[in-house]
Amino acid sequence: MAPSLSAEDMKGKYTMANIKSSKKRVLIAERNRLRNVAMKSSIKTALKKALELASSDDKEALNSAISRAYQLCDKAVSKGVLHKNTAARRKSRLVLAVKRIQEGK
């Protein structure tokens, strides 16, 4: 959950608008940015974990890691964090990388 922000938290970081609705939009945009950064970071972590498990012999853990990465990508698309083609590209590259690693063993 993103931390709640107030106008005082934002002071000095941005030039604050005078209009009340503009102030609200600045706060909402910052909250959304923090949420988007967190979600993108969790996707990267899930992809890295799946790639690490590709070199091990644990197929069960690998399948669950790939499934988790797929879930996170799909959720990011539904929330508007990632474009659908970006998510599809990441999932495709993940599977190709896993296959390459497993062939190289």
What pTM did the predictor assign? 0.79
Name the one residue in this structure whose structure tokens are 């959720």: 75
Containing structural domain, residue 94: 7-104
Q: Which pLDDT score is estimated for 57?
A: 87
Residues linked to residue 11 through DSSP beta bridges, in sequence order: 14
Q: Is residue 97 part of a domain?
A: yes
Q: Which pLDDT score is estimated for 18?
A: 87
Q: Is residue 63 part of a domain?
A: yes
Q: Is residue 2 part of a domain?
A: no
Domains identified in the chain, total number: 1
Cα Dmax for the chain: 62
Q: Which pLDDT score is estimated for 32?
A: 96
Q: Is residue 35 part of a domain?
A: yes
Q: Which pLDDT score is estimated for 27?
A: 93
Q: Is residue 41 part of a domain?
A: yes
Q: What does each of the 105 residues of the chain score in pLDDT, given as a tens digit?
A: 556 766 666 666 667 788 999 999 999 999 999 999 999 999 999 999 999 999 988 999 999 999 999 999 999 999 999 999 999 999 999 999 999 999 987
Q: How far apart are CA 5 and CA 86, in angstroms?
A: 30
